[in-house]
Amino acid sequence: MAGNGASQAGSPRYPDLVIVGAGLFGLTVAQQAVEHTGARVHIIDVRGHIGGNAYSYFDEETGAEIHQYGAHLFHTSNKRVWEYVNRFTEFTDYVHRVYATHDGVVYPLPINLGTINQFFRAAYTPAEARAVIEEQAGELAGTDPQNLNDKGIQLIGRPLYEAFIKNYTGKQWQTDPSELPASIIKRLPVRFNYDNRYFKDTWEGLPRDGYTKWMERMIDDPRITVGLGVDFFDESQPYNKKALQAAGVPVVYTGPIDRYFDYELGDLKWRTVDFKEVRYDEGDHFGCPVMNFSDADVPYTRAIEFKNFNPERRDSQNPDRTVVWQEYSRFAERGDEPYYPINTDEDRKLYAQYEAKAKAEPKTVFGGRLGTYKYYDMHQVIDTALTAYETQVAPLLNK
């Protein structure tokens, strides 16, 4: 494997690989590069911590593990990913279940036979419930609506749609659902049984020692170094884009792809999330980790009560105090944390242009949500990182 020494006197001796972004994609690639090639890897991140959006910390007052960028729940049916992550952490037996408050009543989600019977104050069998929902689709049954509002009615009937989806979606997108494309909800899961498990994956759980401990173990190797608070585009520090390109150092870039090219073709659009923290003088406020608020008169979409993700830690948590984060959704501007790609036809066309430019960067591998303008769950990020290492990074290191 060729090293990447600096060519000019006084400039730094560069490692074999520089990774921009200490999220799951970058950490996975770093771990794989060291394990398989013995490479020297340096990771930089503009934030002050590793882990990307999966970063968590422990709240001193309550003992709760706070997911700083919103609830992160690990689940997968991918055996390769499950075996890989279990090298670095054990998982609890947590099973995610969500509830929604509508009109002063709490219902289980996703919509299931329990939700349906509670909502209609009925005792429908699965067949009866199916017939009721088909009837409630009314004139939209069997059609192909182009806007989200009509598509929602077609899929689950008007009463359930208006109770649980319409206003929640309006708050999420800050747009009337009749003005949103139907593609946003290609399907709305309705279960005609009493299964209220949110995910259907083979494996599910939360890292027993917390997300940050998991990430730290991934890069616990002297050949991996980390620089935090370091901006890839700041030319006053040595690991900047221009200097690394001049030195011919392979780079894995997990930041926004439009930022890499200085937004020269325009900005890709994202949604972001703001959080408002509320603390209560009680041990448990909601009785569940996530409570959705389906009505328009509640300005936030959902509330997260972090203590309830980890009931196995009850003995180390404060029985008299709890912390809740209310979640507000809005369109992102430059400088905001980008969470969800908006992915309009216009955005996809713009990304395709940036993707073409990325392919002309022979020593840079683009990955992660921001680098590929895709929404990924954690297991998908890891899977794509393992594949990217094998198909794109390893060939650069073995030259």
Kindly state whether residue 25 falls inside one of the protein's structural domains: yes
Write down the catalytic residue from 14, 168, 302, 383: 302
Q: Is 271 a catalytic residue?
A: yes
Rounded to whole angstroms, the Cα distance separating 73 from 274 reads 19
Residue 39 lies in a domain: yes
Q: Tell me whether residue 259 is one of the annotated catalytic residues.
A: no
User: Quick check: is 390 in a domain?
Assistant: yes
Tell me which residue range forms the domain holding 128: 112-184
Q: What is the pLDDT of residue 9?
A: 37
Tokens standing for residue 399: 């030259």
Q: What is the pLDDT of residue 140?
A: 87
Cβ-proximal residues to 371 (8 Å cutoff; 6+ apart), any chain: 21, 25, 253, 254, 255, 256, 257, 260
From residue 142, give the alpha-carbon distance in Å to each of 151, 181, 189, 332, 377: 11, 18, 17, 36, 32
Beta bridge partners of 329: 273
Strand partners, 271: 331, 340
Query: What crossing angle do the helices spanning 24-37 and 211-218 adopt, rounded to 10°?
Result: 30
Task: State the SS3 of the chain.
Answer: CCCECCCCCCCCCECCEEEECCCHHHHHHHHHHHHHHCCCEEEEECCCCCCHHHCEEECCCCCCEEECCCCCCEEECCHHHHHHHCCCCCECCCCCCEEEEECCEEEEECCEHHHHHHHHCCCCCHHHHHHHHHHHCHHHCCCCCCEHHHHHHHHHCHHHHHHHHHHHHHHHHCCCHHHCEHHHHCCCCCECCCCCCCCCCCEEECECCCHHHHHHHHCCCCCEEEEECCCCCCCCCCCCHHHHHHHCCCEEECCCHHHHCCCCCCCCCEEEEEEEEEEECCCCCCCCCEEEECCCCCCCCEEEEHHHHCHHHHHHCCCCCEEEEEEEEEECCCCCCCCEECCCHHHHHHHHHHHHHHHCCCCEEECHHHHHCCCCCHHHHHHHHHHHHHHHHHHHHCC
Let me know whether 176 and 232 are in one domain. no
Domain count, the chain: 2
Residue 268's pLDDT is what? 96
Q: Helices 126-136 & 113-120, crossing angle to 10 degrees?
A: 70
In the residue annotation, 314 being an active-site residue is answered as: no
Answer whether residue 356 is part of any domain: yes
- Is 321 marked active-site? no
- Integer Cα distance of 158 and 162 in angstroms: 6
> Considering only CA atoms, which of 289, 276, 359, 266 is closest in space to residue 98?
289
- Residue 48 in any domain: the answer is yes
Catalytic hit among 84, 327, 354, 389: 327
Q: Which of 65, 253, 271, 351 is catalytic?
A: 271
User: Are the beta carbons of 154 and 187 closer than 8 angstroms?
Assistant: no
pLDDT at 12: 67
pLDDT in tens, the chain (399 residues): 333 433 333 456 899 999 999 999 999 999 999 999 999 999 999 999 999 999 999 999 999 999 999 999 999 999 999 999 999 999 999 999 999 999 999 999 999 999 999 999 999 999 999 999 999 988 888 888 889 999 999 989 999 999 999 999 999 998 899 988 888 887 677 899 999 999 999 999 999 999 999 999 999 999 999 999 999 999 999 999 999 999 999 999 999 999 999 999 999 999 999 999 999 999 999 999 999 999 999 999 999 999 999 999 999 999 999 999 999 999 999 989 999 998 888 999 999 999 999 999 999 999 999 999 999 999 999 999 999 999 999 999 987
Do residues 265 and 145 share a domain? no
- Catalytic residue (one of 128, 201, 336, 377): 377
Please tell me whether residues 30 and 154 are part of one structural domain.
no
Residues 21 and 91 in one domain: yes
170 and 22 share a domain? no
Catalytic residue, from 121, 144, 187, 281: name it.
187
Domain boundary pick from 184, 211, 239: 184
CA–CA dist 165, 153 (Å, integer): 10
User: Hey, what amino acid is at 268?
Assistant: L
Q: Given 153, 184, 215, which residue is the final one in a domain?
A: 184
pTM for the complete prediction? 0.93
Q: Domain holding 117: CATH number?
A: 1.10.3110
Does one domain contain both 253 and 346?
Answer: yes
Task: Respond yes or no: is residue 282 known to be catalytic.
Answer: no
Catalytic residue among 220, 314, 375, 390: 375
CATH number, domain containing residue 265 = 3.40.50.720
Instruction: Enumerate the β-bridge partners of residue 112.
Output: 191
Query: Which of 191, 204, 373, 383 is the catalytic position?
Result: 191
Active site residue 327: yes
Give the C-alpha separation, 97 to 200, whole Å.
11
